[in-house]
Structure 1
Amino acid sequence: MAAEPLMLQEHRRLSRRFFGQLAAGGALGMLLPWQARAAELPPECAAACESFLKQLEYLTPQEEFGNVSRGTPRPYDLPEEKKQEVGLTPESWRLEVVSDPDDPADIEQPLTVEAGTAIDWDELMKMAKQHAVSFPKIMTCNNGGRPLGMGIWEGVPLREIVWRTRPQQNLRRVFYNGFHNDDPKQLFRSSLPIGRVLEDPFDLPPVILCYKLNGQLLNGERGGPVRMVVPEAYGFKSVKWLQRIVLSNLFHANDTYASGNNDVDSGMKTFAHSLLKPEKIKAGQPIPITGYAQVGISGLKKVQTLLLPKSTEWPQDDPYYTQADWTDAHLLDPPKTWGGGLPDDRLPDKVHGFDPATGRPQNWPMRMTMAHWATVLPGLPAGEYTLHSRSIDANGYAQPMPRPFRKSGRNVIEETPVQIVE
């Protein structure tokens, strides 16, 4: 299993401080008795949550993202002279856009290195002056179950590049790959239907050729100088070290990731997970818990928690605890500051989903991002317990529905132990 991202390590450190603030401020002693429900946080706890959020960076600095990079050697570990040679620096980067030789699309102007028409860094920056867009997105793996990091991604819409080739007809799919050490066995490719490239469904931002994360140029580990970023998709669609785009008349997905029995066209799921809870807590004392929710394509309505004795035998015909007595948690407000290494802690201009006048989110929680939550559960008798958390999406579906299948994105209901002692 991959090491826990530093983002979550930081949450753990700050959450310990959060729990300490609750105890020191007397909030724990003022909560409801254990028989009562804790659907909302009391004012004292809410104040501690606000203080906690001020200390927790919402955006993840580039160097603290979880890493699932492919390649042997990994492209960003190559010597500087080799990076220059293979196009992994801004000044040497080139992007070719061609027709598929096996299922050709009809395009009038292929963009190739040989013809001197490939897109270079200077040309991309010229396009950025007119077309650049930025948007918030949580980066996560299809089967990972926890985020790699949360960022503001900036780039040029992929469709602007496609139109440069002057496509005419027989264009149904776009597939693309990054640098792979000139080894066909290491090639990693993803694809999109042309409809998604040319038109943005609902209120989604466009697919972009990304060159900045949190207001700073992409480093090599994050896929720089240029990578693809697909707003609603899992990480395997956002190919790093982008160098080649192929326009095809192929009618189906042809992603490398499909070979692992993955649903390669599914959007991100909504799910919740706890992050901090006391390892041990005394009987009868309220139980403070914090966590995060990944807000997928179905949005997020609420987060709920459930604490059951470890010995509980739940009916086999209700594997998702739909008949259990879940307790609503408190979704925390947007952070006052964003962190993540933003220059002067200032968001880029015209971030998708943000009010340009106030610089604040137009809706919260925002789809394709992350939200934090907190709750204080009533005290219980001594014993071994299991904590569960789940999301309720904006359509009213409780996690893991409506898509419970792992290969369509992991969102199993968590099971984590809680020990209550005398």
Structure 2
Amino acid sequence: MKNLERFLSEHQQLTRRHFMRLGAAGAAALGLWPLTADAAPAAPELSKAIETLEPYFTPREKFRDVSRGKPLPHSLPDEKKRAVGLTRETWKLEVISDPDNPATLRSPLTQKDGTALDFDGLMKLAEKHAVRFPKVMTCLNIGCPLGMGIWEGVPLREVIWLTQPRENLRRVFYHGYHNDDPQQMFRSSLPISRVLEDPFDLPPVILCYKLNGQWLDSERGGPVRVVVPEAYGFKSIKWLTQVVLTNLYHANDTYAEGNNDIDSWLKTFAATISVPREVKPGEPMPVTGYAQVGLAGLSKVQVWIQSNAVERPTGDPHFTTAPWTDAEILAPPKHWGALPDGKIPANTLGFDDATGQPRTWPMRLAKVHWAALLPGLPAGEYTLRCRTIDEKGNAQPMPRPFQKSGNAAIESVDLTVKS
């Protein structure tokens, strides 16, 4: 047993040297900007693993879907979509005062009065106010992102100002099309202060009509949905039809009824993409993964291999005393994936128009890829884990380890080494 423990200790030091071999060749395999000018060539097995990584921006057809509704609104026949306002030609948005807790509005936008906002009106606002920004879309209770995109729209506040609010406005309620069945309504809400002002240089809350440079299709919540940059997906309501301005002091989110933390913002966490599940003794193991970069940012991704024959100390549920090793956070890609001409659209928040490159890396509220080449191991059963360290030094799953505020559990992957 002591020999195995000694080997694993030496293995951690060898792993650090293997990470340094990622270098320019590994970056080039993914079309990345070189990390350093004199980086050593990457091991072929790691280059091959990097080549198979997913595109940075998710193609529309590759987004995961967790839509609600019976039937799902995006599955309705085209004629029905036109009839209920789920096309750009027929979409209308009401912005009204809450009848039970009224906000004081001079000019509510209603279908009855013919003042509801239509898509042409939204595009008129877009001529002056359109914004676009990168964001990873993630469900609160699922351990992997649904997709990564550049979302374009008009700040919600620009539409709210059209109603000329005067006073008694504390919160914004909103919901989407729900098959005209109150039992299917999925509601969300925000404090009015978050809608009117963008704290900490966050992008604005938007009425989104484009994803990755293309019109937002029905499956992704089109023709118009809400997108809240720092929040989980339940705040970014699809098929938006009504905004209610209220003087009520608390939320009315449907997700609150499921014992969820409705005020939680995106967490930082890591997960694997490719891991060889069975290798021969002494054979190097290429590992790749992604990290979701939450509001707390990202400073490191780390990995650790544990022999299943070695018991870990009790009382350390988050493995804080384990011999973690830094992995390599990959540089920005030269080829971004599912974008028109493969280029970042002009005036995208967080990007430099002159170079097309991100102003900071990793970008908050987005994802980043990482890679590691692990030295070979003797025969046996092992567990690989990965975690993040945020910009304040908090190791995953801290500082918010609870599942109902967003998944951040440390992922574990079984490995078998045998002849």
The TM-score normalised by the length of structure 1 is 0.90
Give the C-alpha shift of residue 348 in structure 1.
1.7
Give the C-alpha shift of residue 35 in structure 1.
6.4
Partners in 1 of 2:141 and 2:84 — Cα distance? 31
Q: 197, 211, 214: which is aligned to 1:199?
A: 197
Counterparts of residues 17-416 of structure 1 (less than 5 Å): 34=11, 36-39=13-16, 41-43=19-21, 46-53=24-31, 56-340=54-338, 342-416=339-413
Give the C-alpha shift of residue 39 in structure 1.
2.8
Partners in 1 of 2:149 and 2:310 — Cα distance? 40
Partners in 2 of 1:113 and 1:59 — Cα distance? 37
CA contact (8 A) 1:137 1:151 kept: yes
CA distance 1:162–1:47, change in 2 (3 Å)? same
Code of the residue aligned with 1:300 in structure 2: it is L
Partners in 1 of 2:127 and 2:192 — Cα distance? 24
Segments of structure 2 that go 5 or more residues without pairing to the other structure are 1-9, 33-50
Cα offsets for 1:327-367 (capped at 9, x unmatched)? 00000001101111x22112221111111221110000000
CA contact (8 A) 1:174 1:193 kept: yes
Segments of structure 1 that go 5 or more residues without pairing to the other structure are 1-32
CA contact (8 A) 1:400 1:412 kept: yes
Which residue pairs with 1:3 in the alignment?
none
Cα offsets for 1:117-170 (capped at 9, x unmatched)? 110000000100100000000001101010110000000000001111111111
CA contact (8 A) 1:71 1:181 kept: yes
Code of the residue aligned with 1:375 in structure 2: it is A
CA contact (8 A) 1:230 1:237 kept: yes
CA contact (8 A) 1:34 1:286 kept: no
Give the C-alpha shift of residue 44 in structure 1.
5.7
CA contact (8 A) 1:49 1:374 kept: no
Partners in 1 of 2:402 and 2:168 — Cα distance? 34
Give the C-alpha shift of residue 45 in structure 1.
5.5
Which residue pairs with 1:21 in the alignment?
none
| Equivalences, count | 389
Code of the residue aligned with 2:30 in structure 1: it is F
Code of the residue aligned with 2:351 in structure 1: it is F
Q: Percent identity?
A: 61
- Name the Cα RMSD after superposition: 1.3
Partners in 1 of 2:222 and 2:11 — Cα distance? 52
CA contact (8 A) 2:229 2:365 kept: yes
SS in structure 1 of the partner of residue 194 of structure 2: helix
The TM-score normalised by the length of structure 2 is 0.91
Cα offsets for 1:172-202 (capped at 9, x unmatched)? 1001000000000000000000010000010
Partners in 2 of 1:204 and 1:285 — Cα distance? 45
CA contact (8 A) 2:12 2:325 kept: no
CA contact (8 A) 2:343 2:356 kept: no
Partners in 1 of 2:240 and 2:14 — Cα distance? 52
SS in structure 1 of the partner of residue 30 of structure 2: helix
